[in-house]
Structure 1
């Protein structure tokens, strides 16, 4: 009975005899499939067996609230920074998603003193967290945690900059400093 392909709405087993797991729901006393996939039954010690529907093949990679993402800043204005999400966790996306870092989501403290131009510049690579799905065009992102913020930036001279504090980066060639919301490096 395992490896049976099922579709949403298909009745799988009696809810009185089995527990509903991932990819299923209970309706009219039956555990039913919630998605297309393969029915899988797992025996549990002393409890009802668990019925799940497991998808086969590759899943599209999309940002979810709470996910860590890597994004490239494309535009900055006084209220927000626009960015393209390039990676979700450590996996690159097939096509970039649009994200927005609003001024109130840059850092956790002294939110009223945040200046977007002192936090990000176009071309910066940032580590951020997905707050929500946002509006119809962009995900809302946050850099409010210490480990979130700019991880890579180029100086005016075109050199990769080095973080010298949580709010400054320095060009190794010209020794010029620029303000950024720098991500804390974790060892």
Structure 2
């Protein structure tokens, strides 16, 4: 009984809250576990979610004596974006080379923490990448269906809409009405009939 209490106190002392993109240590001394990932370019382990950092010590007979670092969400677990995930995000800002968005859902599950995504110019579509105009592809407030490429450097996930079925799925026109998709590149205001350009997600087969 005494040993259990002592171990619990030690674990409580080791509790550190970290946020996505925060450095946890070098891969030479840590093995990335749940809630963390290894960046190959600098062999550094980073947190991928907000939560408590914990170290799991290896068994004495383990050939690898590096501890495993895990990040456990301090809230009830919502969905967490991972490379390859299909997500829904709301565009918050559009710049010449990149659009920022707040991730709302991973698959069909809503997220409970704030995850930011960015769509870079080269990840908007598959063809004629150099001709992509970010301001004609997305507008703030658009709901975008995208695929997670990776966790980028600025604590934001890199997102891609470079597939036919990815892109804007819901948008409001300048006048505030719902937009209806016309083609891959155009949506029409359901009230005024005005046409605006977007990188539209293909609906159906």
Deviation sequence 1:138-165 (CA, Å, 0-9, x none): 1100000110000000012211100000
2:22 aligns to what?
none
Q: Which of 102, 117, 120 is residue 84 of structure 1 equivalent to?
A: 102
Give the match's secondary structure for 2:182: strand
Q: Which of 124, 127, 150 is residue 145 of structure 2 equivalent to?
A: 127
Q: Report matched runs for 1:103-114 at 5 Å.
A: 103-114=121-132
**TM-score scaled to structure 1, two decimals?**
0.70
Give the match's secondary structure for 2:190: coil
Report if the CA contact (8 A) 2:79-2:105 is conserved.
no
Give the match's secondary structure for 1:165: coil
Aligned length: 145
Q: Which of 150, 173, 182 is residue 191 of structure 2 equivalent to?
A: 173
1:63 aligns to what?
81
Q: Which of 157, 161, 186 is residue 139 of structure 1 equivalent to?
A: 157
Q: Aligned equivalents of 1:169 and 1:71: distance in 2?
A: 18
1:99 aligns to what?
117
Structure 1, unpaired ranges of 5+ = 1-6, 15-26, 37-57
Q: Report matched runs for 1:3-82 at 5 Å.
A: 8-9=56-57, 11=59, 27-28=62-63, 59-82=77-100
TM-fit CA distance, 1:9:
4.3
Q: Aligned equivalents of 1:114 and 1:100: distance in 2?
A: 15
TM-fit CA distance, 1:60:
4.9
Q: Aligned equivalents of 1:128 and 1:150: distance in 2?
A: 9
Report if the CA contact (8 A) 2:78-2:109 is conserved.
no
Task: Kindly name which structure, 1 or 2, has the bigger radius of gyration based on alpha carbons.
Answer: 1
RMSD of aligned Cα (Å): 2.4
Runs of 4+ more than 6 Å apart: 33-36
Q: Aligned equivalents of 2:113 and 2:134: distance in 1?
A: 26
TM-fit CA distance, 1:97:
0.6
Structure 2, unpaired ranges of 5+ = 1-54, 71-75
Summarize the Cα distance change of 1:65–1:153 in structure 2 as closer, same or farther, 3 Å threshold.
same
Structure richer in helix, relative to its length: 2
TM-fit CA distance, 1:95:
2.0
